[in-house]
Amino acid sequence: MPRMKGKYALITGATSGIGLETARQFLAEGATVAITGRSRVGLDAAERALGASVLSIQSDAGDIAAQRRLYTELEQHWPRLDVLYINAGDVTHRPVKDWDEAAYDQLMATNLKGPFFLIQSLLPLLANPSSIILCGSISAHIGLPQSSVYAASKAALVSLARTLSGELIKQGIRVNGLIPGPTETPALTKLGLPQAEEDALRQEIRSLVPIGRLGTTWELAKAAVFLASDESGFVVGSELLVDGGVGNI
């Protein structure tokens, strides 16, 4: 029997990379899936890749009003929400001296503020039981140069897996963090650095992985299936590291 048969699942930031592959795996496991993305072009491409059954909603993860509208959109189509996977993220990396307030606020809105208010908005729709998955980053556990703001935002997001678990578990809502290590996704081309610096940082990232390679979107998606399914019913407030050993070795 499919591991997510009968479940309704929303994945944010699912037009490419880990989010797109997770949507594909959720569908394969029997879930009804909705995805979000900022770009209509990206959403259209994702629809073509995933099939007509996917509900795609254009939404900027850093726009608080847009997060609140997601509740209205989903309520019109679905009776409940069983899985919320917050995957959308701003991966900008740059030296400390190059940050300004506008760029800082934009990253934090996308990676932390937006997700918090999305969870708040969707609480009336979340089933008992249900699963919230927060996509963190191994950067929150290591000292990777030029990752300061990004890593801080992800550390705060994963902290919510614990604090919200304590608050929401009585409603049957489990919250867990999924922690990717260096993964081969289009995000590696969106670091926001000059090309020479980006190439150097990519090489440094690769050298961190004890297993000797980058992760794949399929490996991260399968971990998300576990956290979304009933198989992880006793997993609460945790961090699941899928990182090739970066955080532990």
How far is it, in rounded angstroms, from Cα 59 to Cα 8? 18
Taking alpha carbons only, the member of 111, 25, 32 closest to residue 67 is 111
Q: Which two tokens stand for residue 115?
A: 């997700």
Catalytic residue among 71, 85, 104, 150: 150
| 8 is an active site residue | no
Asked if residue 191 lies in contact with residue 91, where contact means CB atoms within 8 angstroms, the answer is yes
Sign of CA dihedral 226, 38, 54, 64: positive
Mutual angle of helices 17-28 and 217-228, in 10-degree steps: 50
CB 33 within 8 A of CB 86: no
| Residues forming the active site | 150
